Amino acid sequence: MTDITVSSQPEISGRSLAQLAMMRFRRNKATISGCVLLAFVTLFSFAGPLFVPHSYDQVFSSYVNVPPSLTPRPDPETLQDVAESIAKRARVTLDEFSVESGRFTAVISSASQIDPRTIRYFDRNNEFKNSEVVAQSEDGRSLTVSGTVDQITFPFGTDSNGRDLLVRVMLGGQISLAVGLAASLVSLGIGVVYGGGRLGLMGAIADSALEVGGAGLAAIWAFSIVWWAVSMAGAWYYDKPIGHRLAGITNWVTGLVGVTLIGLAAASWAGNGPFAAGATWLHWKVGLYGLINLLVVVMIKVFDPLGIAFGRLAV
């Protein structure tokens, strides 16, 4: 007898749809680049404010319409003029002023006794902070004030109100990403619910037609065609008054059909409706289609004003 040896072949495993989609995703360089850029923008917008010492609405009155720069402000050459301006507002005389290692020292005097609270004028400016009295003459007419020079950098500059544009760009990125995500989720939800409601309604119409018969079938199809035509006309002329009226009619009819389907399902389940009393699955199906149509109307009523509001903000 002759021995027959069967060679073992490697088992070939197929790829799932998710694996195929991931392969195409990895091969698309533009998509990968877009994802990297989106991740960078998200990180910049949400993590960036954590590393900035001030908020988006903080006003720097000393730095209005400052051009973008990586050089810390204030400029040391301008601090002398700033200190003289502060002394003038406080109605004292600036005798000496010096800056060393990020700290300033100012000697102020007056013909009368100086209130120590006068040093608040230094902290009210954006250039100085943590001001304190380090020396005072016996007659109280001279004070030595010391504090920290507040160094601030504006890489994106400031606006006409003196607000940091870098932080405001980060905030704008947060709003843009949130609006984009919300719009995607809303469109997905409306598409699934609305599309499912319309397709489900056609199924309910078909089920009803099988139960009612010839005359009812003609009436149901006529109603469906008219309803479809009104819906399409409302969508086509949406930016005109007639489009708004047709869309309103469509919403009312959608809600009315939803309530009617729920009522017919409940009546049939109780044994008094047009559907067979024992077809429980059909009762639940028709009732679910009616509920989906009601949800469509509710979502339109809730999100339509939001769309109008976002449209006004975008202008």
Q: 60-64, 156-160, 236-240 — which is least confidently predicted?
A: 236-240
Instruction: Please tell me the distance from the alpha carbon of residue 202 to that of residue 162, in angstroms, as a whole number.
Output: 60
Cα radius of gyration (the chain): 37
Least confident among 97-111, 131-145, 178-192: 178-192
Tens-digit pLDDT profile for residues 127-142: 888 899 888 888 888 9
Cβ 269 vs Cβ 280: under 8 Å: yes
Split at pLDDT 50, 70, 90, the class of 170 is very high
CA proximity to 173, closest of 10, 63, 49, 45: 45
The residues near 197 (Cβ < 8 Å, ≥ 6 apart) are 254, 289, 292, 293, 295, 296
d(CA 20, CA 16): 6
Domains in the chain: boundaries: 20-51, 76-149, 165-314
Model pLDDT for residues 207-222, shown as the tens digit of each residue:
555 555 555 556 666 7
Residues in the chain: 315
pLDDT in tens, 260-310: 878 877 887 777 766 666 667 777 777 787 787 787 777 777 766 665 555
CA nearest 94: which of 145, 135, 130? 145
Q: What is the pTM of this model?
A: 0.54
DSSP codes of every residue in 239-300: TSHHHHHHHHHHHHHHHHHHHHHHHHHHHHHTT-SSS-TT-HHHHHHHHHHHHHHHHHHHHH
Q: Which residue has the tokens 């949800």?
A: 295
On the CB side of 132, how many CA atoms lie within 13 Å of its CA? 4
Angle at the Cα of 280 from the Cα atoms of 295 and 252, rounded to 5 degrees: 25
CATH number attached to the domain at 76-149: 3.30.1360
